Structure 1
Amino acid sequence: MNAAIELLLNRHSTPAKHLGAPAPEGEHLDLILRAAMSAPDHRALRPWRFLLVQGEARARLGDIFAEGYRCRHPEAEAELIERQRGKPLRSPLLILLIAHLQECAKVPEWEQMMAVGAAAEHMQLMAQALGYGSVWLSGESCGDAWVRQALGLLPHERLAGYLAMGTPTVEPLTKSRPDPWTFTEEWTG
């Protein structure tokens, strides 16, 4: 089977706890980011930007996640706050997906968000093609105004999640896929 077809039909996420070093860097990281630029993007708005978080910056991001969680849940137990602090440390590279939404009468926000999603999926596919694993993560922190401010996001930007990337430490699980025809019907007017 054609390698591109094989990649698309067998796309998978690798849990962050199973992503080790090395993370993509150099030419591989460049290819991953270039793949995002080929995503469908009505009117070429490029409604995205990406923040790379690696090394010690992962711990600082964990501090932001923990503080945001503590502010959202003032009665939270210390263990739950610490769990938030540890999330960015589970993989060697995080790519934060920033939806850089723009005013455009012909491209509503929902369509720009879909373009961000397509860019993220392109990055995941390229990472997998290069032998890396990734998983798209989100959660309460992504919608937290304090977290967005601490990350330096502009008022019109949203944190659409983040890709955790690294080298898989386990073989991917074989995943059965549903029959696409159960989700498909022909509309005849």
Structure 2
Amino acid sequence: MDAVTLLKTRRSVPPAFLTEPGPNAQQLETLLTIASRVPDHGKLAPWRFVIYQGAARDKASQIVLDTFLASCPDADEVARKKESNRFSMAPLVIGVVSTAANHVKIPLWEQELSAGAVCENLVIAAHALGFSSSWLTGWMAYDERVLLRLGIASHEKLAGFVHIGTAKEAMPDRPRPSLAEIITYYGQN
């Protein structure tokens, strides 16, 4: 598939619709290599990866569930089930962590945007390798109790969890914005 078609056909597939096979070790290395090739003012590499695969996905899901139940002990069974499999639906979850920090020359915002670009490259690379993916956050991406136990330090932020696997079925595309509604030509009335 050529690059333009690849970019035009990329779409998110929710983790509940992802299954095996996931990327093998060589494909994972390719994904991370491509994800790292983003604009990075100052060559700071203000991001890093946390890989959740195999049994680690269940351990991460248990951390999310335990933290959820500490705040919502009376949660119903539907909510408990949802929280108990946050990391275990897709064969692979990659946490993209923003390590942005104050710098004398490079604004924090540019470093954070670079971490977002890493997530975007990751989902595009997954599509290029024939996988489906979804870039998500959710409440746990902002809960320090969860993040610390998932390997993310208190001075870091989570840019997203990218769930990667094989789509169980073809997913319909969502409506996309009309270009006429999102484009402004400066200086033209």
Question: How big is the shift at 1:101?
Answer: 1.7
Q: What is aligned with 2:96?
A: 97
Q: How does 1:165-176 map to 2 (within 5 A)?
A: 165-176=164-175
Per the alignment, do residues 15 and 45 of structure 1 end up closer, same or farther by CA in structure 2, a change over 3 Å counting?
same
Three-state SS of the structure 2 residue aligned to 1:50 is strand
Is the deviation greater in 31-40 or in 102-111?
Answer: 102-111
Q: Tell me the distance in 1 between the aligned counterparts of 2:138 and 2:97.
A: 14
- CA RMSD of the aligned region, Å? 1.9
Q: What is aligned with 2:31?
A: 32
| Per-residue CA distance 1:140-166 (angstroms, 9 max, x = gap) | 101101111112322211122201101
Q: How does 1:1-189 map to 2 (within 5 A)?
A: 3-188=2-187
Gaps of 5+ in 1: none
Q: Tell me the distance in 1 between the aligned counterparts of 2:82 and 2:173.
A: 29
| Per-residue CA distance 1:36-58 (angstroms, 9 max, x = gap) | 11111111111111111111111
Q: Tell me the distance in 2 between the aligned counterparts of 1:39 and 1:6.
A: 20
Per the alignment, do residues 177 and 79 of structure 1 end up closer, same or farther by CA in structure 2, a change over 3 Å counting?
closer
Is the deviation greater in 148-157 or in 51-60?
Answer: 148-157
Question: How big is the shift at 1:106?
Answer: 2.7
Q: TM-score, structure 2 length as denominator?
A: 0.91
- Tell me which amino acid in the other structure corresponds to 1:86: N
Question: How big is the shift at 1:65?
Answer: 0.5
Per the alignment, do residues 89 and 39 of structure 1 end up closer, same or farther by CA in structure 2, a change over 3 Å counting?
same
Q: Tell me the distance in 2 between the aligned counterparts of 1:34 and 1:17.
A: 26
Per the alignment, do residues 91 and 106 of structure 1 end up closer, same or farther by CA in structure 2, a change over 3 Å counting?
same
Give identity over the alignment, percent.
31
| Per-residue CA distance 1:49-98 (angstroms, 9 max, x = gap) | 11111111111001111122123334433542332111211111100111
Gaps of 5+ in 2: none
Question: How big is the shift at 1:179?
Answer: 2.6
- Tell me which amino acid in the other structure corresponds to 2:35: A
Q: Tell me the distance in 2 between the aligned counterparts of 1:60 and 1:45.
A: 31
| Per-residue CA distance 1:112-136 (angstroms, 9 max, x = gap) | 2211111111011011011000001
Q: Tell me the distance in 2 between the aligned counterparts of 1:123 and 1:145.
A: 24
- Asked whether the 8 Å contact 2:50–2:151 carries over to 1, the reply is no
Aligned length: 188
Question: How big is the shift at 1:175?
Answer: 4.2
Three-state SS of the structure 1 residue aligned to 2:159 is strand
Is the deviation greater in 126-135 or in 179-188?
Answer: 179-188
Question: How big is the shift at 1:182?
Answer: 2.0
